[in-house]
Amino acid sequence: MVTESNPPLAVAPRSDSGAFTFASGLVHVTSDQYSPVRGRIRKLRGTFDFGRIMSDDAEKQVYGELVNPDEESRMSDAAAELKKYKHLIESADNDKSRLLLEKIEAETEKKRAEAELQSFMDSEDKVSDQFNRDLLEVQEERKSLDRVHQDLKKELYDLQKKLQLKRDESDSLRRRFKIEARIPVKAVKFARVQERDEAEDQVESVFTVTQTPSFLLKGGQALITFEEEKVAEQILRLAKCSVACDKAKMEVKPYALTLDPSVKFEVHIQVSKKSVRFCNAPPTLPEERMRDRLELSFSRASRGGGEVEKLEYHKDTGSGRVTFISTGVAESLVHRGKFCVDTGSDVVVDVLPLYEYQLRKFQTYSGAPRRTVLLGGIQALMDEEDLQDHLEIHFQKPSNYGGEVENIKYVPDGERLTAFFSEDSKEKEA
């Protein structure tokens, strides 16, 4: 039997937290977090007095006294349960260590994430600042480009105005010097046969060139030609003409028409029957050999040539002239326009007529259309045809100092028209 007065058997405590100390028959767990274990051990108080336990083959002795087998069984159970709780404590310690390590790793990961977040925030601030600077630069550049665009538009507008002025000036000069060629028809008949001389080797022609007088009619203007000159004179005496257009009236001002000077001259042309010009003959050979090759090629009848009287060649320009003995060869080559020359390889040259011309009897004159009146200040009160009809009706009435109208042309606003004048047939008859 175990008595409570026996001195306790001391058990060496564990060095880590949760160690056990056996004293006065009580098992203590020093770690507060293992209170269930401590409570379970306290239940054994008064039942067991842990002292010196000695093992023999037959029985147990505690301080020289025999121990009851039941007491021994309870002590074995208590030792097994103690071992079990020690194992639980060790497992809990391992879990605690693992959790501490995970906590440290989590704190490290947290610090790394916070540092990375701070880095991203700093980068975002830098990128935002750079974006704002770039945006300001782009806005300034756009403003500069807008200013340049406005300046270019203004410059374009000014250039367009200057171009229009130049075009108007060009149109005026073109009208002033525009040439219309009229070739007179002449009746010819065979008279007699004459001996050939040098003059017969040329075809002579005379052309009379006369510039047709013209006038640029602008929008809101009209030209009206009367059958009688006195009617135009009567209209020109009026300061203005009041023309009725249905229920409305408009004031039209008559002007005398002045045409730009015109020119007239004769063109005398002499075309050779025996000589032609050629070009595009590059000097692929020395000059003398090139000249010989050209003369030999032009003298071949099989190529369309004939007997050559004279040949000139300029290597710098690759051109020259060739004169044949007979007259039909030059005309045939001119009609063909091309000729194949053998210079070691076939070279196709251009063949052109050889001619001379002179300008003679150059004259300038100014025409004055006496039966035509210019009307200005016409308002677009109706469409073009109706307005032209109203103008014609108004100026046909003798009560409006008008007369028979031979021709009338009205140009609406925004348009232009060039009017050409011919010699007055009535003046010719007179």
What band does 101 get if pLDDT is binned at 50, 70 and 90? very high
Most confident of 33-47, 182-196, 278-292: 278-292
pLDDT at position 331 is 86
Partners of 245 in the β-ladder: 248
The CATH architecture assigned to 265-363 reads 2-Layer Sandwich (3.30)
What band does 425 get if pLDDT is binned at 50, 70 and 90? low
Query: If you average pLDDT over residues 39-47, what whole number do you get?
Result: 47
Please, what sign has the CA dihedral across residues 273, 275, 281, 285? positive
**Residue with the two structure tokens 């060649």:** 313
DSSP class per residue in 263-326: EEEEEEEEEEEEEEEEE-----S-HHHHHHHHHHHHT-GGGT---EEEEEEETTTTEEEEEESS
Residue spans per domain, the chain? 213-261+366-429, 265-363
10: pLDDT strictly greater than 60: no
User: Quick one: CA torsion of 146, 149, 151, 152, rounded to 10 degrees?
Assistant: 170
Question: Residue 67 contacts by C-beta under 8 Å, 6 or more apart in sequence?
Answer: 1, 2, 59, 60, 61
pLDDT at position 103 is 93
What band does 194 get if pLDDT is binned at 50, 70 and 90? low
> pTM score, two decimals?
0.41
Other C-beta atoms lying within 10 Å of the C-beta of residue 299: 17
List the one residue out of 13, 417, 363 whose CA is nearest residue 179.
363
pLDDT at position 20 is 38
Q: Above pLDDT 90, what percent of the chain?
A: 27
Distance of CA 220 to the CA centre of its chain: 40
